[in-house]
Every structure is written in structure tokens, then in C-alpha cells.
């Protein structure tokens, strides 16, 4: 791999930055620190909520705005100010939630309410799939109970998701795309921490890549000078559009096929392997980045 340094390195969190145990290894933290010291702008781009991403930024010393909820919310981790919040066109979210309700699913709806001490709205706590109930049990203190959510979502809602078995979520994705395809950005991916798959819904054009473009523009950085690293389908836009897209060795096959390069898996410090090679740090035999993707 050429050692020409990117100006911006965009990193997914779950399955990329983190280990299978959902922590950040010392080797990976050190490698990211070396990238920052080398003058590379490091940006975290995640499907996680903002609050649930702060620990990673603090662990790494990343101070640039966090691209969270797959690009729908960008906030400064130092002062918690909002840099960007996506917005649905009038009536779109209401229509999507009506479709979700008719299909027998439950939606979680995000609002930019970090300063108010909660992150999302739901209709109840013992609702939906087994995975969703586990999610709500783990995040109950960060929920606002809104029984009329599917009829009257909050005005500042910027994204939503459902959770359930993959076939049901794929069917829901197809239904939303058929009815609201031009007004929404929707995808299905495996849940990193709960049983089942996620159907994530955002306003049209909102992806991790759209968030990266906003931050890159502020630094005068072109797409050609951006490297992006990820492992799941919500990373595809940034891997396809960045100057170099790198998939983790544990990535979904579709992601590996779309990537320019494939590094080691997250249980083998694949992100650290990539950065160490980029910076010319000697690596143990057998831990070099793989070649081109499919």
C-alpha cells in the first residue's frame, strides 16, 4: 500500500474501531493517536447515538465533530453543540410511521435532546421484538415515553429505526422504499449488540458520507484525500465515495466487495494494522493489509 497520507480518516465505531467485546484495544487507540499526531484529521462516523459515541471520542482524544446516527446528527463533543441535524420533509415521517404501525412493528424516533437528558421517543418499554425490548431495557433512562408517537412524532425528529428478524426488516425496507423512496434514506443491517436486524430510516440523502462531506468542506479537503474504514452496509456510501475505502476483515461480504482494500478483522486490530502500515510502523509478520476488494 502506498504511504501517501490521507488528509482525513473517517472511522466507523462498531465492528471497526471496537473489538467484538465492544471496547477499543490499546494498540488501536495508540495507532489512532499516532495518526492524529501525524496531522491526519480523524473523524468518527457511526450509526450510534451521539451520547453513545462520546466515550470513543474521549478514549481516542478525537475533538472533531462526531458524525452520529449514520449522518443524521453531527455534534461537537467538546461543547455538545449541534453542527447539523437532518429533517424530514413535511408529512414524510408521519407517513413512514403509519406504514410501520400498519406492518405491526414499533419505531424508535430520535430527537436532538442530549441536553435534556434523553435521546429518543418510543410508545412503550415492553414492545416490539425481543431485540428491541432488550434495547429499551438497556436504554430506558434515555427514552421519552410518547404513546402517540406514530401519529404525532416530535417536530425535531431527525431519524428512526425498527428492530426485528432480518426477513421482516427487509420487507419493511422494501415497503418504505416503494412508498417514500425519494424522501427517505433507508437500509437494513445487523444489530451490533442486540438480537435481530435494524431497519434505519433517515431523510433522503443523509448518510455517513454526507456528514463526512460537510466536515471535509470546512477543512478544504477533497474526496480524493479522504480514507474511510467500515464493516457494514451503512458504511457503503463512504467507502464507495472516499479516495480510498477500506473494509475490515470481519466486514459484511457486500462491504468487502465494494472496498478498495481489506484490512485485518477487528479481533486482530485491523484498524491499527492499517494505520501502522500507513505511517510506516513495522508490523508483525502476517498482519499486513490485504489487497484490492472485489
Average pLDDT, the chain: 94
Q: Using alpha carbons only, what angle is made at residue 173 by residues 171 and 175, rounded to the nearest 5 degrees?
A: 70
Rounded-to-integer distance, Cα 20 and Cα 16, Å = 9
- Cell 404525532 sits on residue: 152
List phi, psi (to 5°) of 232.
-135, 175
Residue-level pLDDT at 28: 97
Residue-level pLDDT at 283: 65
Residue-level pLDDT at 1: 47
Residue-level pLDDT at 213: 97
Rounded-to-integer distance, Cα 119 and Cα 109, Å = 9
Task: Say whether pLDDT at 150 is over 50.
Answer: yes
Task: Say whether pLDDT at 133 is over 70.
Answer: yes
Mean pLDDT across 121-129: 95
Rounded-to-integer distance, Cα 26 and Cα 113, Å = 32
Q: By the 8 A CB rule, do 223 and 7 touch? A: no
Residue-level pLDDT at 170: 97
Task: Say whether pLDDT at 290 is over 90.
Answer: no
In terms of pLDDT, which residue wins out, 264 or 283? 264
Q: Could you tell me the pTM of the whole model?
A: 0.93
Query: What does the pLDDT look like over 158-191, one tens digit per residue?
Result: 999 999 999 999 999 999 999 998 999 999 999 9
Task: Say whether pLDDT at 294 is over 70.
Answer: no
Task: Say whether pLDDT at 132 is over 70.
Answer: yes
Query: What does the pLDDT look like over 188-243, one tens digit per residue?
Result: 999 988 999 999 999 999 999 999 999 999 999 999 999 999 999 999 999 999 99
Residue-level pLDDT at 285: 60
Residue-level pLDDT at 292: 45
Mean pLDDT across 31-58: 97
Share above pLDDT 90 across residues of the chain, in percent, rounded to a whole number:
92
Cell (9 digits) for 46 = 457511526
Q: How many CB atoms lie within 10 A of CB 28?
A: 25
Residue-level pLDDT at 19: 96
Residue-level pLDDT at 3: 55
Cα 14 to chain centroid distance, Å, stands at 8
List phi, psi (to 5°) of 124.
180, 180
Query: What does the pLDDT look like over 55-102, one tens digit per residue?
Result: 999 999 999 999 999 999 999 999 999 999 999 999 999 999 999 999
Amino acid at each position: 500500500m502506498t504511504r501517501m497520507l490521507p488528509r482525513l480518516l473517517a472511522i466507523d465505531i462498531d465492528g471497526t474501531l471496537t473489538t467484538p467485546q465492544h471496547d477499543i484495544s490499546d494498540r488501536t487507540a495508540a495507532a489512532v493517536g499516532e495518526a492524529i499526531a501525524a496531522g491526519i484529521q480523524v473523524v468518527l462516523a457511526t450509526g450510534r447515538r451521539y451520547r453513545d459515541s462520546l466515550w470513543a471520542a474521549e478514549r481516542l482524544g478525537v475533538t472533531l465533530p462526531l458524525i452520529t446516527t449514520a449522518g443524521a446528527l453531527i455534534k461537537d463533543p467538546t461543547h455538545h453543540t449541534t453542527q447539523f441535524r437532518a429533517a424530514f420533509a413535511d408529512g414524510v415521517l408521519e407517513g413512514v410511521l403509519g406504514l410501520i404501525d400498519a406492518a405491526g412493528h414499533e419505531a424508535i424516533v430520535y430527537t436532538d435532546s442530549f441536553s435534556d437528558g434523553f435521546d429518543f421517543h418510543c410508545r412503550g418499554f415492553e414492545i416490539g421484538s425481543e431485540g428491541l425490548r432488550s434495547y429499551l431495557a438497556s436504554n430506558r433512562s434515555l427514552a421519552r415515553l410518547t404513546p402517540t408517537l406514530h401519529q404525532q412524532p416530535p417536530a425535531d425528529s431527525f431519524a428512526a429505526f425498527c428492530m426485528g428478524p432480518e426477513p421482516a426488516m427487509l420487507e419493511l425496507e422494501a415497503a418504505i422504499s416503494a412508498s417514500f423512496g425519494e424522501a427517505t434514506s433507508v437500509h437494513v443491517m445487523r444489530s451490533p449488540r442486540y438480537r435481530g436486524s435494524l431497519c434505519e430510516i433517515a431523510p433522503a440523502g443523509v448518510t455517513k458520507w454526507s456528514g463526512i462531506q460537510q466536515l471535509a468542506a470546512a477543512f478544504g479537503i477533497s474526496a480524493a484525500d479522504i480514507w474511510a474504514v467500515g464493516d457494514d452496509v451503512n458504511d457503503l456510501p463512504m467507502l464507495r465515495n472516499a479516495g480510498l475505502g477500506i473494509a475490515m476483515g470481519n466486514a459484511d461480504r457486500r462491504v468487502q466487495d465494494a472496498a478498495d482494500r481489506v484490512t485485518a478483522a477487528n479481533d486482530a486490530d485491523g484498524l491499527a494494522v492499517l494505520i501502522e502500515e500507513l505511517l510506516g510502523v513495522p508490523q508483525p509478520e502476517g498482519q499486513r493489509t490485504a489487497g484490492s476488494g472485489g
